[in-house]
């Protein structure tokens, strides 16, 4: 199995391991001074957003940061200095030298995806196609929901924008893998005409959850550290409705759609590594569907002003015996 050193950045968090995201990393920040509370409120828009609790509708509480943390990011309620220390520790200016792009199609080879042991209500039509099998593939065996990452270059490349949009329709998120650069937030929009949802970002401690109303405003979710999270649904009891979420310290990444296509631009010229990772068959995160190979790596040459074409075949073999999932364990295991 190829090395996953390119993914190791997500485990270099303040609590040392991904599993610690549910332990020490969730400790409450120190009580801030009123000025810091006001800054966090202004940055996150907390003062004007409602949310649901057991006692009914109330206002979103201020997210607290340390009083001496400095300016707060406009994307997530975290000090800008903390984000920069992770994504740009050397304080480099954005890379402006020779650069190019890489694009292509990822296709799966070998066995067809095994069926998952999940029960989906009849009125959740799109959920069958999204979650009914171990992974999604399109026409001509194109592979969906695969993370594609480029590493091995020198230079700082900022993330494009503050928000990563996700939509819900037919009781399904529009993808099963989400990849962000640290400092970005997730915005979940409900496109169903009647049903409401309660998106939940497992691994990120929040004081309350916001309801995604039919065709309403997006629900904002804030991953506060780099690492692995899971986007779930907490209202309908739909344990099968999820997406693996990875927050990385670099921005050269993409996720394939049903057409298997990806494109990553702004890459410094030179030799780089392109890695394809399919989270849904990773044994460490999904023991019930884990396969022997979950990562494929290739080396390519990026040329100034050019787009390098790189189609990748991803081998899949159904495990000899998929273990029967225990009740309530159809969602991913976060470590």
Tell me if 334 is assigned to some domain. no
Q: For residue 224, give its domain range.
A: 5-316
Count the helix, strand and coil residues of the chain and give each as a percent rounded to the nearest 5.
15, 35, 50
Q: Determine the 3-state secondary structure of 109 from DSSP.
A: strand
Mean pLDDT (the chain) is 79
What is the b/e burial string over 69-82, where b = at least 16 CB atoms within 10 angstroms of the residue's CB? beebbebbbbbbeb
CA 281 to chain centre: 16
Q: Determine the 3-state secondary structure of 83 from DSSP.
A: helix
Residues paired with residue 151 on neighbouring β-strands, in sequence order: 273
pLDDT tens digit sequence for 285-331 = 888 888 889 999 999 999 999 999 999 999 999 987 655 655 555 54
- Quote the pLDDT of residue 142: 98
Q: Which of 15, 31, 13 has its CA nearest to residue 67?
A: 31
pLDDT tens digit sequence for 193-215 = 888 999 999 988 776 788 999 98
Which region among 101-105, 146-150, 230-234 has the lowest average model confidence (pLDDT)? 230-234
Tell me if 90 is assigned to some domain. yes
Tell me if 329 is assigned to some domain. no
Which region among 42-51, 176-185, 309-318 has the lowest average model confidence (pLDDT)? 42-51
Higher local confidence (pLDDT), 51 or 313: 313
Tell me if 249 is assigned to some domain. yes
Rg of the chain taking only CA atoms, in angstroms: 20
- Quote the pLDDT of residue 289: 83
- Quote the pLDDT of residue 325: 56
- Quote the pLDDT of residue 177: 98
Q: Which of 53, 80, 54, 84 has its CA nearest to residue 66?
A: 80
CB 105 within 8 A of CB 112: no
CB 109 within 8 A of CB 151: no
Tell me if 324 is assigned to some domain. no
DSSP string, 226-261: SEEEEEEE-SS--TT--EEEEEES---EEE--TT-E
Tell me if 256 is assigned to some domain. yes
pTM for this prediction: 0.78
Tell me if 323 is assigned to some domain. no
Tell me if 255 is assigned to some domain. yes
The CATH number for 48's domain is: 2.60.40.420
Half-sphere exposure at residue 227, Cβ-oriented, CA atoms within 13 angstroms? 25
- Taking the C-alpha atoms of residue 230 and residue 178, their distance in angstroms, rounded to an integer, is 9
Count of structural domains within the chain: 1
């Amino acid at each position: 199995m190829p090395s996953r050193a390119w993914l190791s950045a997500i485990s270099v968090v303040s609590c040392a391991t991904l599993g610690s995201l549910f332990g020490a990393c969730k400790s409450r920040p120190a009580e801030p001074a009123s000025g810091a509370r006001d800054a966090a409120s202004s940055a996150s828009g907390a003062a004007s957003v409602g949310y649901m609790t057991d006692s009914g509708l109330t206002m979103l509480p201020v997210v607290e940061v340390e009083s001496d943390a400095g300016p707060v990011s406009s994307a997530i309620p975290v000090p800008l200095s903390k984000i920069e220390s992770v994504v740009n520790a050397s304080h480099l200016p954005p890379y402006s030298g020779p650069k190019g792009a890489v694009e292509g199609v990822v296709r799966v080879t070998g066995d067809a995806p095994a069926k998952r042991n999940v029960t989906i209500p009849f009125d959740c039509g799109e959920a069958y196609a999204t979650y009914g099998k171990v992974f999604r593939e399109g026409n001509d065996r194109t592979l969906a929901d695969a993370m594609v990452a480029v590493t091995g270059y020198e230079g700082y490349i900022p993330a494009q924008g503050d928000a990563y949009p996700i939509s819900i329709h037919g009781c399904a998120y529009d993808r099963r893998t989400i990849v962000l650069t640290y400092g970005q937030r997730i915005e979940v929009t409900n496109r169903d005409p009647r049903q409401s949802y309660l998106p939940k970002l497992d691994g990120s401690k929040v004081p309350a959850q916001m309801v995604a109303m039919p065709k309403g405003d997006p629900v904002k979710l804030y991953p506060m550290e780099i690492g692995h999270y899971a986007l779930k649904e907490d209202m309908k009891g739909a344990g099968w409705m999820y997406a693996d979420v990875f927050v990385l310290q670099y921005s050269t990444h993409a996720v394939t759609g049903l057409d298997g296509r990806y494109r990553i631009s702004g890459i410094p010229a030179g030799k780089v590594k392109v890695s394809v990772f399919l989270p849904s068959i990773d044994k460490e995160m999904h023991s019930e569907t884990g396969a022997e190979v979950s990562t494929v790596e290739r080396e390519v040459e990026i040329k100034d002003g050019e787009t390098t074409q790189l189609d990748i075949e991803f081998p899949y073999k159904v495990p000899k015996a998929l273990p029967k999932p225990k009740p309530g364990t159809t969602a991913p295991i976060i470590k």
